[in-house]
Structure 1
Amino acid sequence: MSAERRNEDARTFLISVAAELAGMHAQTLRTYDRLGLVSPQRSSGGGRRYSQHDVDLLREVQRLSQDEGVNLAGIKRIIELTNQVEALRSRLGEMADEVERLRTNQRRDVAVVPKSTALVVWQPRAARRRQE
């Protein structure tokens, strides 16, 4: 998560403010929370606290529903798939960083073949001589 996103998510809004920012009624936000479309943080007293990310997600739910005609079950699935894609992109970035680190630190031991399905087994020369 970027530093900018963390700063945005650090600010939280009461349900009435989040509803106004999203252009919805507070009861709609409660319904979306119950359905699992948006999961706001909770205060120690149990009150909902919406981040800027939550408000943006509420706007997207409204857009998909009103402009695109997607039902709530479909919207929930879209949100789930979007979250999976974000997680996979993050993991891919981590793996690319790890590959780059390995390339830099152990240039001889790592060979990356982009877009290949080939499997290459590397053995040290001493091990190959023993097998022959």
Structure 2
Amino acid sequence: MIHQYDEPVYLISIVSKILEIHPQTLRQYERENLVCPSRSNGRIRLYSQRDIDRIKLILRLTRELGVNLAGVDIILRLKENVDGMETEIAELRHQVSRAQNSHSVSPDKALVTKKSLYEMIIFE
């Protein structure tokens, strides 16, 4: 059975075995707000593949690069900001490309009125 990337399906014991770390380490990451697993109705932690990938990044930063948990928090926040900006840039590039291909300004962005032989475009 294949699960979605964000679907919370892994118990803490499974995640700790997959990543070869103690469950207490996962609880510490949660206390530090570095990872926020979902909870079942019985309050059991359930991790998604996205959570596991995030924990792998945390482990790489701490083990291989020697970053402490406060530094990891800053790095993860910056990474989220950069990812958001990259998404926004991609959307803006798509809009610019679409506008260039249509050779017009969307109706909600401009008001076109005719005055003599010239067209006047007023942007909001």
Same fold (TM over 0.5): yes
Match of 2:50 in 1: 53
Residues 8 and 46, structure 2, Cα contact 8 Å, conserved in 1: no
Q: Please state if 1:80 is matched with 2:77.
A: yes
Structure holding more strand per residue = 2
| Other structure's SS at 1:101 match | helix
Q: Please state if 1:96 is matched with 2:93.
A: yes
**In the alignment, residue 52 of structure 2 is paired with which amino acid?**
V
**In the alignment, residue 94 of structure 2 is paired with which amino acid?**
D
Provide the C-alpha distance between the structure 1 equivalents of 2:91 and 2:104, rounded to a whole number of angstroms: 21
Identity of aligned residues (%): 34
| Other structure's SS at 1:7 match | coil
The structure-2 alpha-carbon separation of the partners of 1:126 and 1:89, relative to structure 1 and needing over 3 Å to count, comes to closer
| Other structure's SS at 1:9 match | coil
The one of 65, 68, 73 aligned to 1:68: 65
Q: Please state if 1:36 is matched with 2:37.
A: no
The runs of at least 4 aligned residues of structure 1 exceeding 4 Å deviation read none
Offset, 1:12: 2.0
Q: Which runs of 5+ in 1 are unaligned?
A: 1-5, 111-123, 128-132
Offset, 1:36: 0.7
Residues 16 and 23, structure 2, Cα contact 8 Å, conserved in 1: yes
Offset, 1:73: 0.2
Structure holding more helix per residue = 1
* Number of residues of Structure 1 aligned to a counterpart in Structure 2: 110
